[in-house]
Structure 1
Amino acid sequence: MDILLMFGDDVTVLSANRVAEHLNVARSTAYRYLQSLTSTGFLEENEGGSGFRLGPRILDLARLARKGIGLSDLARPVMRELVRETGFPALLTRRAGASVVCLEREEAGQTLRLSYERGQVLPINAGAAALALLAWAPVEVVEEVLRQPLVRFTDATNTDPERLRDRLPQIRDQGYVISRGELDPDVLGVAAPVFGADGGLVAAVSIAALSHRVTDAQAVATAEVVMRAARELGAQVARLEVATI
């Protein structure tokens, strides 16, 4: 590990002499260490034996480290900034079959009772976050949802399959969802989709607020901020996906 930590932006090749001096060991001992790292793929010997550079096993570990960074880890800073800009609680949700799972919830210092808590699983037919996930879901998922009885949460919940089917293209066209009281009474939701490197849907970012405090014009303005946050998270996800290929 000490040898590997000797590498840096200005040190891309190590010699046995340099390692011996750094570790205060004999050159033969340093060379044995280097050969051990080479045999396991952590180092490669330069052509002509002029020194040792990092090997392919390091790239494998870097890939695994990047893969270990979860969506929630990427989303939290974006969600905190979204809360700062809007003043509203932010949510990160993901589709799981015909359901929605709340992965993260970032509070905004205000008390707001919501159905979405971390780990909460809800049907996908009601609320801004759910509809954002449904609008960009595969056709077979949409049809599966619409074949089932749609759950009613409030008087504003859309339980008509045809009306819901007609709404999805409109959501895709505008790029966001605004819902009022469809999942929680008196709660406004604004959500936008998060896409990965291949353009596939990854998650949805949303905010929630007391509906009577937000006008239609304010909701549309908030949607612009939510979409920007979703694009930022999508860009981070895409960079991570490309890096792990």
Structure 2
Amino acid sequence: MSREKQAEPTYRERNSTADKALVILGMFSEERQVITGADVVDQLQVVKSTAYRYIQSLQSSGLIEENPESPGFRLGPRVFELARIARHGLGLSEAAGPILRELADELQETVLLTRRSETHVICVERYESRTPIRLSYERGQVLPLNAGASALISLAWESDRDIERLLEQAELTRLTERSTDDPAKLRDRLAEIRERGYAVTRGEVDPYVVGVGAPIRGADGTVVAGATVVGLEQRLTQDTIPKVAERVREATEAVSQRLRVLAS
């Protein structure tokens, strides 16, 4: 049996732990509304102490709780709160899908639909072109708030007070040598993005990958999501970025208009 690492876990290792928690949550179904520690041991193929560490983490987050009627665990109150929030978010993928797929086809680059969840950014959808590239952003992927165009556009239009709060609370992680975890530099970049109306980043999440992103606004005018075109540096060059940025902004405005219509 391998000895557990004593060193501080990296961001990607902690993300792997989060994956295990998602596997545990995925064990629940209509037919299986209670799971036991032994079930988790069997599912994850880990020792009992490791399984219960994952269980305790989910308990502390309110995602599961002890079942009062029989030994084991059932879904907790936080799951139902998240379900309620998700229902309010219905319409984003439907409104954005046709427009962002068309954008990916037109530019022959991958397009990401992302939204912020407090101090992280979540990839809601990924629209591939005919020339797909390897990216850290997969559908459902959770990444830090400080790296990449998708992250920065989710933060740039917040109030100064909220930006300060989020930068204090977030785990500012350098995913590559080009990403920054300096709050002062991030504030300056966010101000530039607001003034320009879109974000351009180079190699901050994945080496040699450029991102060009713009905000999507909800019915009340606040930024609710973002769309980002991502491609290799040799394709998204200084000469092509202005045109790409213009098309991204046109696409996000079209999605924002659809969201306004859906809310009316």
Fold match by TM threshold 0.5: yes
Counterpart of 2:96, as a letter, is A
Q: Does 1:73 align with 2:94?
A: yes
Q: Answer yes or no: is the 8 Å Cα contact 2:91–2:259 preserved in 1.
A: no
Q: 1:143 to 1:68 in 2, by over 3 A?
A: closer
Q: Does 1:82 align with 2:96?
A: no
| Partner SS, residue 262 of structure 2 | helix
Give, in whole Å, the separation in 2 of the partners of 1:145 and 1:220. 30
Over the residues paired in the alignment, what is the CA RMSD in angstroms?
A: 1.8
Give, in whole Å, the separation in 1 of the partners of 2:90 and 2:183. 38
| Partner SS, residue 210 of structure 2 | strand
User: 1:149 Cα shift?
Assistant: 4.9
Q: Deviations over 1:23-70 (max 9, x none)?
A: xxxxxxxxxxxxxxxxxxxxxxxxxxxxxxxxxxxxxxxxxxxx7952
User: 1:146 Cα shift?
Assistant: 2.4
Q: Does 1:231 align with 2:263?
A: no
| Partner SS, residue 198 of structure 1 | coil
Counterpart of 1:152, as a letter, is R
Q: Answer yes or no: is the 8 Å Cα contact 1:98–1:144 preserved in 2.
A: no
Match of 2:131 in 1: 110
Match among 211, 214, 217 for residue 195 of structure 1: 217
Match among 87, 93, 118 for residue 97 of structure 1: 118
Match of 1:128 in 2: 149
Report which structure shows greater RCO (CA 8 Å, sep ≥6): 1
Match of 1:7 in 2: none
TM-score when normalising by structure 2: 0.64
Q: Answer yes or no: is the 8 Å Cα contact 2:144–2:171 preserved in 1.
A: no
Give, in whole Å, the separation in 1 of the partners of 2:138 and 2:185. 28
| Partner SS, residue 216 of structure 1 | coil
Stretches of structure 1 lacking an aligned partner (at least 5 in a row)? 1-66
**When the two structures are aligned, how many residues end up with a matched partner?**
177
Kindly, what percent of the aligned residue pairs are identical?
Answer: 45
Match of 2:238 in 1: 216
Counterpart of 1:209, as a letter, is G
State which drifts further: 142-151 or 229-238: 142-151
Give, in whole Å, the separation in 2 of the partners of 1:138 and 1:68. 22
Structure 1 outlier segments of 4+, above 6 Å: none
Structure with larger Rg: 1
- What aligned pairs does 1:22-41 form with structure 2 within 5 A after superposition? none
